[in-house]
Structure 1
């Protein structure tokens, strides 16, 4: 089995096993699975109608702050994340790789299951496309110091109860999930 088909199988498995926290999230979960059934290349950026992406909200070890990037193309403060790559064996691998690359923080500990899904229009292709984002949470090690990557204009810790503007409703919902997961996030 190639890494691409392994990643595809993992994404389908993750989405099949994941328990959506709301009816809207359940509809998105079903939409993602239908999309993948119709598009065997749906984990790759090259899939024009839409493709799976993996993102991560990084939380500090005190579980009080989240790390956000000022996205250079969008101009808003967002969680870290991006496209799946051939070296990603699993969706969790993609989420952790993206978070590590974009934060510069080694030793992030990924919560093992996605916390929410978000579908949004993007310009990956001239005719437009959709990101079918699967969103995770990761805990940073004590004393973690982020380093800005070439994919962002800025990178900063923000208190969960004082998220910046311009912000994103997706980030606010992710922060809400973090508050509920606090007892289950391990150091």
Structure 2
């Protein structure tokens, strides 16, 4: 909760950040548990190459759209950042990741019936930088690929263009400060 509470969110995220903090305050650990109810937090990692010209996306098997890597928080995950990195490694096969310090994105989105008991994900997004290494497809996706940030694929999840643009804006402001090397 401290990660979100202490985040000096851009004005476009300030109200949303307060909603997330309230959810965590009101529901405690259940807010981060996929079994804690149909509405819960998830952790995502937007992976960019170090020049910020490419973004790694996966074609989600259940959703049938391109999206960043990420997912549910496991009991063994100490923090949202650890959860996001675990998901990034599992879903992309990339291991050489440099995490940008802190939260950079919040996005609450409703899910379709293909997602079973999950109704709404309150996603917390971090960013990581990686060399343009070949990714590996996991069981959760049909394809994982690098795309230039100026030529994103068709069938993107609804908020992806906005989320990627916002991430890039924030990353360009932070580079080279605010980096921590792989967790």
Same fold flag (TM > 0.5) = yes
Give ranges in structure 1 of 5+ residues lacking alignment: 1-11
| Structure 1 residues 17 and 111: CA distance shift in structure 2, 3 A | same
- Whole-Å Cα distance in 2 between the matches of residues 38 and 108 of structure 1? 33
Alignment-derived partner of residue 118 in structure 1: 107
Alignment of 1:47 onto 2:41: no
Which residue number corresponds to residue 29 of structure 1? 17
Q: 1:154 to 1:26 in 2, by over 3 A?
A: same
Partner of 2:127: 137
Q: 1:172 aligns with which of 147, 161, 166?
A: 161
| Higher strand content, 1 or 2 | 2
1:47 deviation in Å? 1.5
- The 5 Å alignment of 1:1-187 reads 12-23=1-12, 25-40=13-28, 41-122=30-111, 125-126=116-117, 129-140=119-130, 142-180=131-169, 181-182=171-172, 184-186=174-176
**How much does 1:169 deviate?**
4.2
Q: TM-score, normalised by structure 2?
A: 0.86
- 1:37 to partner: Cα distance: 1.7
Equivalenced residues, count: 173
The question of whether the paired residues in 2 share the 8 Å contact of 1:53 and 1:131 is answered with yes
Identify unmatched segments of 5+ residues in structure 2. Answer: none
Distance 1:125 1:85 in 2: 18
**Cα separation, 1, equivalents of 2:50 and 2:37:** 38
TM-score (norm 1): 0.84
CA distance in 1, matches of 2:159, 2:152: 12
Tell me the SS of whatever aligns to 1:111.
strand
CA distance in 1, matches of 2:75, 2:155: 33
